[in-house]
């Protein structure tokens, strides 16, 4: 979303907020609460660049507070944009690098998203709680075991531990999407021969069994896969439609989205996890929804 494309009233509101010393985080938070979608963060960044705060304004990193903004009836479902020249992104203690970007489908690989100790802590927190991974039956809506997905997994509620809360806040800052739109953090383990054959992360609305999962939080719009371990052999994340393979690298994160601002699903996002041939593979997955996802399901 570009600043120049916004309504004049909203452009003026942003300029006034910046002139008044509001921080980037405060401005973005106010817009998200007013109904705008994460892509608005890109416009805010452009506004700060072209209309920087006056020298005598309070620090844009320190100023807090709240603001009132015009509401938006039809928000876009987009994320912050990245390109090969983005360089390092400061996310607190982590200095994240953009390794590559692809526009169609929208894919970004980040290096150094998690520290080694964070990866190891997530693995140890999860090891004794793994159960066989299931998939949604698109015809009946039931979660069931299938030979196409042979990993084991567990999950953590939003903010369940300080570490989980910190990682979720980091995801929100990186992608420009509020953490309230995230499903529980999934930890997945792939031993030798385990795989997840090519599939889509979104739910096809034409399938009757998907109506129940779509009713809670709306459509999935993006996925962040965080690699918690290196893999001795195999275990790549593959996108067969575009011939892309991403080998797990401990601490790296792979993001991809699959729905346009107009709600069109991107079938180029077909992806899978190839079989582990030697060693083991650990990942953490965060699936993001178009609307708020409840912390506790009924």
pLDDT tens-digit series, residues 136-180 = 988 888 899 999 999 999 999 999 999 999 999 999 999 989 999
Per-residue model confidence as pLDDT tens digits over 57-76? 333 333 334 444 433 333 33
- For residue 258, give the 3-state DSSP assignment: coil
**In the chain, where the domains are located:** 1-76, 88-289
Strand (E) positions, the chain?
A: 88-91, 94-102, 107-111, 131-132, 135-136, 143-144, 152-156, 185-190, 196-199, 220-227, 233-234, 237-239, 244-246, 253-257, 271-273, 276-278, 281-289
Cα separation of 17 and 8, whole Å?
14
- For residue 295, give the 3-state DSSP assignment: coil
CB 3 within 8 A of CB 48: no
Residue 96's DSSP bridge partners are 89
Q: Is the pTM of this model over 0.85?
A: no
Per-residue model confidence as pLDDT tens digits over 215-258? 999 999 999 999 999 999 999 999 999 999 999 999 999 999 99
Per-residue model confidence as pLDDT tens digits over 3-13? 888 877 788 78
User: Backbone phi, then psi, for 116, in 5-degree steps?
Assistant: -55, -45
Mention the CATH class of domain 88-289.
mainly beta
Tally of CB atoms within 10 A around 136: 16
Continuous H helices in 51-175 = 116-126, 162-175
Answer yes or no: is pLDDT of 115 > 80. Answer: yes
User: Backbone phi, then psi, for 112, in 5-degree steps?
Assistant: 65, 30
Q: Which pLDDT belongs to residue 147? A: 95
Answer yes or no: is pLDDT of 43 > 80. Answer: yes
Cα separation of 140 and 211, whole Å?
10
Residue 224's DSSP bridge partners are 255, 286
């Amino acid at each position: 979303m570009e600043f120049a494309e916004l309504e004049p009233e909203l452009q003026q509101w942003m300029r006034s907020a910046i002139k008044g010393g509001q921080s980037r985080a405060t401005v973005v938070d106010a817009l998200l609460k007013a109904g705008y979608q994460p892509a608005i963060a890109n416009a805010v960044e452009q506004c700060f660049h072209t209309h920087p705060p006056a020298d005598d304004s309070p620090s844009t990193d320190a100023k807090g507070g709240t603001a009132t903004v015009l509401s938006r009836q039809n928000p876009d479902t987009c994320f912050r944009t990245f390109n090969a020249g983005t360089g390092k992104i400061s996310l607190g203690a982590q200095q994240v690098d953009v390794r590559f970007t692809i526009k169609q489908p929208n894919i970004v690989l980040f290096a150094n998203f998690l520290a080694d100790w964070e990866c190891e802590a997530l693995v140890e927190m999860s090891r004794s709680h793994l159960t066989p991974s299931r998939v949604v039956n698109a015809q009946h809506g039931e979660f069931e075991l299938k030979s196409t997905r042979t990993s084991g997994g567990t999950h953590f509620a939003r903010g369940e531990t300080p570490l989980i809360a910190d990682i979720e806040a980091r995801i929100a800052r990186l992608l420009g999407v509020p953490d309230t739109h995230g499903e529980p953090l999934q930890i997945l383990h792939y031993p030798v021969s385990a795989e997840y054959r090519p599939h889509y992360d979104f739910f096809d609305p034409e399938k009757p069994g998907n109506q129940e999962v779509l009713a809670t939080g709306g459509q999935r719009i993006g996925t962040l896969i965080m690699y918690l371990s290196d893999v001795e052999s195999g275990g790549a994340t593959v996108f067969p439609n575009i011939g892309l393979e991403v080998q797990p690298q401990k601490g790296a994160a792979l993001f991809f989205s699959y729905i346009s601002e107009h709600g069109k699903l991107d079938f180029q996002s077909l992806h899978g996890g190839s079989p582990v041939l030697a060693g083991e593979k650990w990942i953490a997955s965060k699936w993001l929804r178009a609307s708020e996802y409840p912390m506790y399901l009924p």
